[in-house]
Every structure is written in C-alpha cells, then in structure tokens.
Amino acid sequence: MKRALITGISGQDGSYLTELLLAKGYEVHGIVRRTSSFSRGRIDPFYGAKVDPSGKLVLHYGDMGDEKNLRKLLEKVRPDEVYNLASQSHVGISFEMPEYSTDVNALGTLRLLDAINDYCPEARCYQASTSELFGSADESPQTEQTRFRPNSPYAVAKLYAYWMTVNYRQTYGMYACNGILFNHESPRRGENFVTRKITQTVARIAAGEADCLYIGNMDAQRDWGYAPDFVRAMWLMLQQEKADDYVIATGELHSVREFIAKSCAYVGMRIEWSGEGMTECGIDASSGKTVVQVDPKYYRPIDIDSVLGDATKAERELGWKPEVKFDQLVEIMMEADVAATQKVQ
Ligand code: NAP
Ligand code: GDD
C-alpha cells in the first residue's frame, strides 16, 4: 500500500486529494494544526476509511513553522509521496501579514524539503505553486516558459518555494515537481475567496437572508477551474518517469462581474449594471433592488488584472484535461450553496 503525506489536508485541495488517494487505496497521512475549534469539516467524512475500506486516513498535529515537528513526522511516516499544500493562501491577507505568509509559504517549504531529503529522499514531492507567480505577466496565455513577475507577498513567498523545489531536484536528485495551478474552486472553497463569497451570498439573497453582495475589483479576470480536476493533476505529476513542472489551467478567461451575473442568473435574477468604478452597482431587473455594491475595503494594494493559463504540456505529457469549465463550475457551486441555505431555513 502506498503512503502519502499531505500538508494542508484540511483545506479545499487537501480534502479532494484525500478523497482521491483513499479511493486509490493509499494510506493517507495529513498534518493538521491545533485550533481552538475544529477545522476539519472538509475531511471529517473520510475519517475512518469510509471512502474505501483498503484506504486509511491518519492525522498528525503539526505546523509549517515548526521544523522539529516536521522532521519528526517525516522520520515517523516515511511517505512514498508528499503533497505540500499548506499555505497562508489568501493573496489579499498576505499584504497584511507578509512576514507570516513568508514563514509558512516560503520557509515552511524549505523545512519540509530538507526533512524529506534527510529521512525519505526517495519520496516523490508535489509543491503547490501558483499562477500568482506570473503576476503582471508579459504575455498571455502563460506557460511554463513565461517569466515570473510576482506582485504580492504571497506570490513572492511562493516564488521562493518554487525555486527551492527546483533546487532540491537539481542538487539532490529529489523527485520534486511544481504544479503551477491557476485558480480552482468548488463548494469546499474558503468563504473569503471571491467565487465562494459570490455563490454563498447570492444564494442567501435569493433566500431572503441577505440584501446585498459587497465586492472589490469586478474587472479582475481569472482562469477558474474545478478543484477535483486539479488534484487529479497533482497525483499525475508524481506518477511520471521524471519530475517536472506543469501549468494546470482551463484556458478560459472570465471576469468577477461575469461570475456574479452567472450566479445571479442561476437563481433567476437578471442583473443590470450601472455606474463605474467605486460607484458601480448591480440591480435586480425584476425587483429594482440593488443587490451588488462595491466596497473599497475589498480592493488590494496591487491586483492582478488577468491571468490565463496554457496547459498544453500537461495535456501532452500527463494526459490531463479539465472536465469542468466555467459555466458548469458556477452551476456546481450555486447548486451546493442554494442547498446549504435551504438546509439552514
Ligand atoms: P486552503 O483551502 O486555504 O487550505 C490551506 C491549508 O493550509 C489548510 O489546511 C490550512 O490549515 C493549512 N495551513 C495554513 N497555514 C498552515 C501552517 N502554518 N501549518 C500547517 N498548515 C497550515 O487552500 P487551497 O485552496 O486548498 O490551496 C492549496 C494550496 O494550493 C495552497 O498552498 C495554495 O496556496 C495553493 N494554490 C491554490 C490555488 C487555488 O486556486 N485554490 C491555486 C494555486 C495554488 P487550516 O485549515 O488549519 O487553516
Ligand atoms: N477574495 C476576494 N474578495 N477577492 C475579490 C473580491 C472580494 O470581495 N472582490 C474582488 N475580488 C478579486 C480580487 O481582487 C482578485 O483579483 C480576484 O477577485 C480573485 O481573488 P481570490 O478569489 O481571492 O483569488 P486570487 O486569485 O487572489 O488567489 C487564489 O488563486 C491563486 C491562484 O491564482 C488563491 O487561491 C491563491 O492561493 C492562489 O494561488
């Protein structure tokens, strides 16, 4: 039985990856943080090997800031595969917490790579790199060859982690890969990322539980995919003959405004836009109510206007292709948030 270790197992991607690996019969070990209230809601359903009787889930307390703890865990678990998904993953918040974001995202990766190299150098490693590395990119779409121009503390820290992963591969011959993943979403997405904030609030507005969606930069454009498709790519990267780095993306670009309009359409609201910039708002055409308003507090000091990925290499070498694209993604997320709202009522 193969043994995998996942950092960030309680997050969106960690939960889908756990589900995938358990279904493949892996023994899955995950690192969770001590928190005052439990933060394991996403993985609770898989605890006790409910997905596949041959699979097994084991959780360990740990933190990317605690080097000794990581070293002890690697020595004890000695995994065949390591997926480093742990991160202070909110770009906006990284401007408020640059040092902490660097410690977790950059130095945390170094601590982990070093422990792997000392205790289980044959382990195959996946590093959660990101399209944020491209920042204000010089070209579109972005490929593995596109120059990195990170423009947030989050992205600068992830750039360090990217190059450390390459460095451990080159220096010590470790099988270490960077997945340069573009935005991927799901009903398990954290509630303060834009897509989930939209689907959750629109579902509440439709149920009469909220009046308005307060939002930041609606002109921002992203290449949004579906998290279960993207964790499949992570696993594929660790099953190749040779370690390499891959862009994973859908190749479709949509704006935040489009995401809002599509989500509203799902609950039968047609949005008419009026005003510009900070005064722009969205009005429900049938009721005349203002249901979308801009709040400057959701703007970032610097934002990425648009990122669009070209996953040709992943398709050619890994046989990976996204199964879900934008329209279906919005439907999946709206369906889940509408159902969750009805459950509460
Ligand atoms: P997420 O939902 O925010 O999950 C982050 C995970 O990291 C959580 O399990 C969190 O634990 C854990 N974590 C945070 N700080 C930690 C620390 N100091 N020590 C140990 N664990 C810690 O993120 P995600 O969307 O699943 O993303 C997974 C990874 O992919 C992240 O590294 C992210 O930066 C990267 N990425 C994401 C996307 C995307 O669009 N989703 C795209 C490209 C790259 P708690 O539950 O205790 O907070
Ligand atoms: N979060 C948030 N909240 N974003 C908003 C809001 C809002 O109210 N209003 C507008 N936006 C805009 C942001 O300014 C940004 O341009 C865009 O929506 C997407 O924001 P997020 O959903 O927070 O995602 P992100 O692209 O910054 O970062 C996510 O994707 C990266 C991959 O490109 C995170 O998952 C990162 O961890 C990941 O690396």
Convert the pLDDT of each residue in 301-311 to its tens digit. Answer: 999 999 999 99
Distance between CA atoms of 340 and 333, rounded to whole angstroms? 11
> Which residue positions in the chain have pLDDT lower than 50?
51
Going by C-beta distance under 8 Å and a sequence separation of 6 or more, which residues neighbour residue 252? 223, 224, 308, 325, 326
Q: Answer yes or no: is the C-beta of 182 below 6 A from any ligand 2 atom.
A: yes
Q: Answer yes or no: is the C-beta of 86 below 6 A from any ligand 1 atom.
A: yes
Q: Which pLDDT value is given to residue 51?
A: 47
Considering the four listed CATH numbers 3.30.70.890, 3.30.1490.190, 3.90.25.10, 3.40.50.1110, the one that applies to the domain covering 194-219+255-305+330-344 is 3.90.25.10
**Can 154 be counted among the known catalytic residues?**
yes
Which ligand has the nearest atom to the CA of 308? 2
Q: Which pLDDT value is given to residue 155?
A: 98
Where do you find CATH 3.40.50.720 in the chain? 3-181
Q: Answer yes or no: is the C-beta of 89 below 6 A from any ligand 1 atom.
A: yes
11 CA → ligand 1 middle, Å:
5
* Closest C-alpha to 42, from 203, 223, 274, 231: 231
190 CA → ligand 1 middle, Å:
10
Q: Which pLDDT value is given to residue 54?
A: 57
Whether 165 and 128 have beta carbons less than 8 Å apart is answered as: no
Candidates 7, 13, 67: which one to mutate for ligand 1, based on the most atoms within 8 Å of Cβ? 13
Q: Answer yes or no: is the C-beta of 190 below 6 A from any ligand 1 atom.
A: yes
**Can 139 be counted among the known catalytic residues?**
no
Where do you find CATH 3.90.25.10 in the chain? 194-219+255-305+330-344
Q: Which pLDDT value is given to residue 149?
A: 97
pTM surpassing 0.95? yes
How is domain 3-181 classified at the architecture level of CATH? 3-Layer(aba) Sandwich (3.40)
Q: What is the pLDDT of residues 42-93, one digit of tens each?
A: 999 887 655 455 568 999 999 999 999 999 999 999 999 999 999 999 999 9
Q: Which atom of ligand 2 is nearest to the CA of 217?
A: 10
* Alpha-carbon torsion (44, 48, 50, 55), positive or negative: positive
Which residue has the CA at smallest separation from atom 12 of ligand 2?
217
**Can 100 be counted among the known catalytic residues?**
no
Q: Which pLDDT value is given to residue 47?
A: 76
